[in-house]
Chain A
Amino acid sequence: MNIRDSIRERLGDKIKDWKETSSRRIYLSVDCADIREIVGFFFTELEMRFATASGVDTPRGLEILYHFSFDRTGEIYTLRVLLKDKKHPEIDSITPLFKGAEWIEREMWELLGINFKGHPNLKRLLLAEDWPEGEYPLRRQNEP
């Protein structure tokens, strides 16, 4: 069974949207609540490599993209979640699944203000100690 069929079969209607912008770029929209299960499936069963995660401040909410690389074919599968509550955005941390996610979640926490529940070491990574609390550089403060 090829990998796309495996994903469709295993995740079923947990995938809210499936978009392919090219033969090697696949974007899947999922719910925040399912993230740990799906990431576990990608990392452990499909043996994908976690490349990175990126957070964006959009008018609809804070969007996090988890980028996974399937090195056998060179494809990148990106999981998209939307955190609608901008005042207290939070999502389960994926660091308990593999250590490679620790630093990027810390970075998203300090630059975007997203709380990662269950992260073993959520403290400042890049910003100075005297950087004011509650100021998130990557948020769009003054835009509508």
Chain B
Amino acid sequence: MSHRVIVPIGPYHPLQEEPEFFQLYVEGEKVVDIDIVIGYNHRGIEKLAEAKHFDQVAFLVERICGICSSSHPYAYVLAVEDILGGEARVVPERALYIRTIIDELQRLHSHLLWLGLAGHFIGYNTVWMWAWKYREPVLDCFEMVTGNRNSYAMFKVGGVRRDLEEEDIPMLKKAMDELLPAVDMFRGAVMDDPVIRSRLKNIGILTKEQAIDWCVVGPTARASGVNIDVRRDEPYGVFNRLSWNVILQKEGDVFAKTVARILELYESISIIRQCLDKIPNGEIDADIKDVPAGEGIGRVEAPRGECFHYVKTDGSNRPVRHKIRAPSFMNVASNKVGAVGGTISDAAITLAAVDPCYCCTERLAVIDKPTDKKVMNGWDLIRLSQEKTNQLKEELKDTLK
């Protein structure tokens, strides 16, 4: 007799910072279906953007998501600059380098944040504390360059708002030098640990065909072997002048997603260093006054994937329509196949592995199918996940000796 249990994750859970509601239908230990209810963060930003002028919209879209706080304004200004002829034609050189540096610093802080949360979900609280500890110097870099740890207000149509001071550059280089051994440590701690490897391997698998069918983007897609990266496919900033690699994995499981993000940290550090060496002097703002009628599309590779903005203008100083599609909109929906088929103890980490940013997308109930009753909550799920890791540690203890 099947006995489906409801485990709600959300809408309010302290460590899944954003509210969303995952209803997992389980039979015994296995997840057989999932219902995703979002909308707890829907603030009507697309409609609000129609009432603001172009400069104000940049501030508005920055607050779509706090973690990929620079991706949304960057994609938005690229969309408007698309109407004006393209970023490369409109924006001065120095501003392109500054934009690239901010974009990559953001990737660093976002991946470290995710690493910490993933560590907590599987019971490695030390990984959580260390990842977030090493995230602090990155936030200090932001504060030094832009004035704020999290909402930078750096992007404007035609350039950037603040310049990189000469004295900032050695400090940024030093921060990157100090981050590199930390990333080496995480790589060793996560990729070489046999417990983590057996804990995360072969769970939450998204095959390449499924990844294409669900149109997923970012590390979630690259971990399944889908070779897409906006920085290479349609370069913006100065990505096409620097040397860096697109990180691809094949297996599509949670371990592959973790490895993809850790290896991307190395690439980001290398990109920032190259930018700091090559950045030229010059203007940072093209001082755009008018935007002609037209429509433009801008996209950037946010830490979670392709962030897509479409702007339609009519010659006035406000957009007629602003369509925002954040990467998590595509990735979170794919949990329908990624999480189904796994066990409850793996559910927490599988759902977290797509690096959901629900506020970008507009937020765990385990439901017992026959009785249709809720039995567990998100806190229980995380506890189950941590218990499974402890069990694995016990089993592998003898082989590790």
A and B touch in the complex (CB under 8 A): yes
Chain A contacts to B: CB under 8 angstroms: 21-22, 24-25, 27, 49-52, 54, 56, 65, 67, 69, 71-76, 78, 98-104, 124-128, 137-138
Nearest chain-B residue to A78 (Cβ)?
A: B297
CA distance A56 to B314 in the complex (A): 13
Instruction: Evaluate whether A126 and B296 lie within 8 angstroms (CB atoms) in the complex, with A49-B228, A56-B321 already known.
Output: no
Interfacial residues of chain B within 174-198, with CB under 8 A of chain A in the complex:
none
Query: How near does chain B come to A14, taking the closest CB pair, in angstroms?
Result: 22
Nearest 3 CB-CB pairs, A to B? A100-B215, A74-B234, A54-B323
- Given pairs A56-B321, A71-B228, A99-B213, 8 additional interface contacts (CB within 8 A): A51-B215, A67-B310, A72-B233, A74-B230, A100-B333, A102-B333, A127-B39, A138-B47
Q: Establish whether residues A74 and B233, one from each chain, have CB atoms under 8 Å apart when the complex forms.
A: yes
Q: Check B111 for interface membership: any CB of A closer than 8 A.
A: no
- Determine which of A52, A56, A75 lies in contact with B325 in the assembled complex, contact meaning CB atoms within 8 Å: A52
Of the listed residues A51, A54, A56, A127, the one surrounded by the most CB atoms of chain B closer than 10 A to its CB is A54
Q: Check B128 for interface membership: any CB of A closer than 8 A.
A: no
Query: How near does chain B come to A37, taking the closest CB pair, in angstroms?
Result: 19
Q: Establish whether residues A56 and B39, one from each chain, have CB atoms under 8 Å apart when the complex forms.
A: no
Q: Establish whether residues B42 and A56, one from each chain, have CB atoms under 8 Å apart when the complex forms.
A: no
Q: Check B170 for interface membership: any CB of A closer than 8 A.
A: no
Q: Establish whether residues B39 and A103, one from each chain, have CB atoms under 8 Å apart when the complex forms.
A: no
Q: Establish whether residues B325 and A71, one from each chain, have CB atoms under 8 Å apart when the complex forms.
A: no
Q: Establish whether residues A137 and B47, one from each chain, have CB atoms under 8 Å apart when the complex forms.
A: yes
Interfacial residues of chain B within 210-229, with CB under 8 A of chain A in the complex:
212-216, 227-228
Nearest chain-A residue to B232 (Cβ)?
A: A74
Complex interface: chain B residues within 8 A of A21 (CB): 82-83, 294-296
Q: Establish whether residues A126 and B86, one from each chain, have CB atoms under 8 Å apart when the complex forms.
A: no
Instruction: Evaluate whether A104 and B329 lie within 8 angstroms (CB atoms) in the complex, with A49-B212, A54-B310, A99-B214 already known.
Output: yes
Complex interface: chain A residues within 8 A of B329 (CB): 52, 103-104
Q: Check B282 for interface membership: any CB of A closer than 8 A.
A: no
Instruction: Evaluate whether A103 and B215 lie within 8 angstroms (CB atoms) in the complex, with A51-B325, A56-B321, A125-B38 already known.
Output: no
Query: What size tier do the contact residues of chain B reach?
Result: 35 or more
- Determine which of A24, A78, A104, A126 lies in contact with B39 in the assembled complex, contact meaning CB atoms within 8 Å: A126
Query: How near does chain B come to A112, taking the closest CB pair, in angstroms?
Result: 11
Interfacial residues of chain B within 325-377, with CB under 8 A of chain A in the complex:
325, 329-330, 333, 336, 362
CA distance A89 to B306 in the complex (A): 30
Complex interface: chain A residues within 8 A of B330 (CB): 100
CA distance A65 to B308 in the complex (A): 13
Instruction: Evaluate whether A25 and B228 lie within 8 angstroms (CB atoms) in the complex, with A67-B310, A100-B213, A126-B362 already known.
Output: no
CA distance A22 to B294 in the complex (A): 12
Q: Establish whether residues B362 and A51, one from each chain, have CB atoms under 8 Å apart when the complex forms.
A: no
Q: Establish whether residues B310 and A65, one from each chain, have CB atoms under 8 Å apart when the complex forms.
A: yes
Query: How near does chain B come to A25, taking the closest CB pair, in angstroms?
Result: 6
CA distance A104 to B323 in the complex (A): 11
- Determine which of A27, A49, A99 lies in contact with B333 in the assembled complex, contact meaning CB atoms within 8 Å: A99
CA distance A24 to B296 in the complex (A): 11
Instruction: Evaluate whether A25 and B296 lie within 8 angstroms (CB atoms) in the complex, with A49-B212, A104-B329, A128-B39 already known.
Output: yes
Q: Establish whether residues B42 and A126, one from each chain, have CB atoms under 8 Å apart when the complex forms.
A: yes
Complex interface: chain A residues within 8 A of B294 (CB): 21
A-B contact pairs, 7 of them (CB 8 A): A21-B294, A67-B308, A71-B227, A78-B297, A99-B336, A100-B215, A125-B362
Interfacial residues of chain B within 82-108, with CB under 8 A of chain A in the complex:
82-83, 85-86
Q: Check B139 for interface membership: any CB of A closer than 8 A.
A: no
CA distance A49 to B212 in the complex (A): 8
Complex interface: chain A residues within 8 A of B212 (CB): 49, 98
Query: How near does chain A come to B130, taking the closest CB pair, in angstroms?
Result: 36
Of the listed residues A50, A56, A67, A100, the one surrounded by the most CB atoms of chain B closer than 10 A to its CB is A100
Q: Check B283 for interface membership: any CB of A closer than 8 A.
A: no
CA distance A92 to B39 in the complex (A): 25
Q: Check B153 for interface membership: any CB of A closer than 8 A.
A: no
Q: Establish whether residues A100 and B214, one from each chain, have CB atoms under 8 Å apart when the complex forms.
A: yes
- Determine which of A56, A67, A124 lies in contact with B297 in the assembled complex, contact meaning CB atoms within 8 Å: A67
Instruction: Evaluate whether A51 and B306 lie within 8 angstroms (CB atoms) in the complex, with A25-B296, A56-B321, A99-B333 already known.
Output: yes
Q: Check B312 for interface membership: any CB of A closer than 8 A.
A: yes
Complex interface: chain A residues within 8 A of B295 (CB): 21, 27
CA distance A51 to B329 in the complex (A): 10
